[in-house]
C-alpha cells in the first residue's frame, strides 16, 4: 500500500501548477494540509495557485497563513509584495519587498539594494537608507546615497569619509551637490574654514553649480572677505541671472558696507525675481530705505 506524505502531495501539486491545471493542483495542496495542517509550504503553494488564477485576496490569505507558521518563507513575502503592487498598494508592496531583501540580501544584486536605499531616502528615512547601502557600498551611487543620508542626519565627519571613499572608487564621480550641502552644514555650525574647503571641492567637480557659488560667497562674507564675496556672487549671477537669493545677499553686504543705494538696487532686483523674501532680511531693507530717505531729506 502506497503511503503518501505532505511533501509527496506538494510535489504533485507543483507539477500540476506547472501544467496550469489549477483545480487539481489546489486539491493536492489541500491533501498535504489534511495530513499536516501546519505544513506551511502547502499553504504557500495554494497561494501561488490562487494567484495564478487571479484570486488575489484569497492568495494573500494563504501567504499570510503560511508566514504565521514559518516566517522564513521569504517567497510568500515577495509574492505578497507583487500582489499589493498590482492592486496599487505601493507602501504595502514596498514593505514586503524590504523585508525580503533584509532577510535574504544575498539573493539580490547591489543595484536592487541601491533602489531600496534610494526609496528610503525619498521617504526621508535616512537611517533605513544607510542600512540598505550595506549591500551596495561597492557602487559609487550607493555610497552617494549613504552620504546624502548622513547629511540629512547632519553627520558631517561621516559624510566626508563616505565621499572620500567614492573618490577612491571613481575620481570622476560627481558629488558636488553633497559637498555643497556639507558646506551649508559647516556654516550652520560656525565652521567657515571647513565650509570653504568643502565648497571648493564642489566647484572642482562642477564649476557651474549655482548652489556651490552661493555658499562660496556666503563663506567669504562670513569670514569678512567682502570683496571675494561680491566677486563670487557676481560670478553666480553670470551663470544664473535669475537666482534671487544672490541679490538679497548682495544687498545685505552692501548695507554692511554702508553702500545704501547699491543695497536698495540689489534688494529691488531680488524682489522683482522673488517677492517672497526671507523675514530676517526685512529689517535690513527697512534700514536701507530709512537711510536713503534721510539722505534725500538732507539734500
Task: Return the residue matching grid coordinates 509584495.
Answer: 81
With cell 508592496, the residue in question is 93
**Residue 295 — very low, low, confident or very high, per pLDDT cuts 50/70/90?**
low
Maximum pairwise Cα distance, the chain: 119
pLDDT tens per residue, range 121-150: 988 889 989 998 999 999 999 999 999 999
Residues with Cβ within 8 Å of 120's Cβ and at least 6 positions away in sequence, in order, are 126, 128, 129, 132, 149
For position 4, what pLDDT does the model report? 77
Helix (H, G, I), strand (E, B) or coil at 37: coil
At residue 2, does pLDDT exceed 60? no
Does the structure show a pLDDT above 60 at 12?
A: yes
Percent of the chain with pLDDT over 90: 65
Residue 100: CB atoms within 10 Å: 19
How confident is residue 1, by pLDDT bands cut at 50, 70 and 90? very low
**Phi, psi angle pair for 223, to nearest 5°:** -95, 10
Count of Cβ atoms closer than 10 Å to residue 244 Cβ: 17
Q: How far apart are the first and last CA of the chain?
A: 119
The span from the CA of 149 to the CA of 179, in Å, is: 13
Provide the 10 A C-beta neighbour count for residue 277. Answer: 17
Q: Which three cell numbers stand for residue 219?
A: 563663506
Asked if residue 35 lies in contact with residue 2, where contact means CB atoms within 8 angstroms, the answer is no
| Cβ–Cβ < 8 Å for 138, 110 | yes
The predicted-structure confidence for 189-204, as pLDDT tens digits, reads as follows: 999 999 999 999 999 9
pLDDT tens profile 72-93: 999 999 999 989 988 989 888 8
pLDDT at position 181 is 97
Q: Is it the case that residue 224 has pLDDT exceeding 70? A: yes
Q: Could you read off the pLDDT of 35-73 as tens digits, one per residue?
A: 999 999 999 999 999 999 999 999 999 999 999 999 999
Q: Which cell numbers hold the place of 73?
A: 518563507
Q: Out of 1.25.40.10, 3.40.50.10420, 3.40.605.10, 3.40.1350.10, select the CATH number for domain 1-97.
A: 1.25.40.10
- The four Cα atoms 130, 204, 266, 280 give a dihedral, to 10 degrees, of 30
Instruction: Say which range, 110-124, 160-174, 207-221, 281-295, has the weakest mean pLDDT.
Output: 281-295
Banded pLDDT at 24 (limits 50, 70, 90): very high
As given in the structure block, the three cell numbers for residue 114 are: 541601491
CA gap 100, 85 in Å, rounded: 15
- Residues 6+ positions from 85 with CB-CB distance below 8 Å: 93
Q: Which residues of 37-57 are buried (b: 16+ CB within 10 A; e: fewer)?
A: eebbbbbbbbbbbbbeeeebe
pLDDT at 176: 97
- For the chain, which residues make up each domain, given as ranges? 1-97, 242-299
Over residues 158-179, the mean pLDDT reads 95
Amino acid at each position: 500500500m502506497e503511503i503518501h506524505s505532505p511533501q509527496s502531495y506538494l510535489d504533485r501539486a507543483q507539477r500540476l501548477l506547472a501544467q496550469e491545471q489549477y483545480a487539481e493542483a489546489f486539491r493536492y495542496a489541500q491533501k498535504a494540509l489534511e495530513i499536516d495542517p501546519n505544513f506551511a509550504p502547502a499553504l504557500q503553494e495554494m497561494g501561488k495557485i490562487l494567484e495564478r488564477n487571479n484570486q488575489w485576496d484569497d492568495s494573500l490569505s494563504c501567504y499570510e497563513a503560511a508566514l504565521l507558521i514559518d516566517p522564513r518563507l521569504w517567497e510568500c513575502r515577495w509574492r505578497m509584495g507583487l500582489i499589493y503592487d498590482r492592486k496599487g498598494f505601493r507602501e504595502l508592496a514596498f514593505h514586503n519587498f524590504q523585508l525580503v531583501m533584509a532577510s535574504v540580501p544575498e539573493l539580490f544584486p547591489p543595484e536592487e539594494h541601491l533602489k531600496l536605499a534610494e526609496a528610503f531616502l525619498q521617504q526621508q528615512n535616512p537611517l533605513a537608507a544607510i542600512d540598505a547601502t550595506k549591500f551596495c557600498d561597492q557602487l559609487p551611487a550607493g555610497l552617494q546615497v549613504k552620504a546624502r543620508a548622513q547629511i540629512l542626519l547632519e553627520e558631517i565627519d561621516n559624510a566626508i569619509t563616505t565621499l572620500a571613499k567614492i573618490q577612491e572608487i571613481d575620481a570622476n564621480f560627481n558629488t558636488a551637490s553633497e559637498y555643497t550641502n556639507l558646506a551649508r552644514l559647516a556654516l550652520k555650525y560656525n565652521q567657515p574654514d571647513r565650509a570653504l574647503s568643502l565648497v571648493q571641492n564642489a566647484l572642482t567637480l562642477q564649476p557651474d553649480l549655482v548652489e556651490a557659488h552661493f555658499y562660496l560667497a556666503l563663506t567669504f562674507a562670513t569670514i569678512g572677505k567682502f570683496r571675494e564675496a561680491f566677486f563670487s556672487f557676481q560670478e553666480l549671477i553670470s551663470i544664473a541671472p535669475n537666482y534671487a537669493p544672490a541679490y538679497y545677499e548682495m544687498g545685505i553686504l552692501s548695507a554692511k558696507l554702508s553702500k545704501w543705494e547699491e543695497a536698495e538696487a540689489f534688494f529691488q532686483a531680488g524682489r522683482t525675481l522673488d517677492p517672497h523674501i526671507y523675514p530676517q532680511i526685512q529689517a535690513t531693507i527697512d534700514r536701507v530705505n530709512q537711510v536713503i530717505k534721510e539722505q534725500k531729506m538732507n539734500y
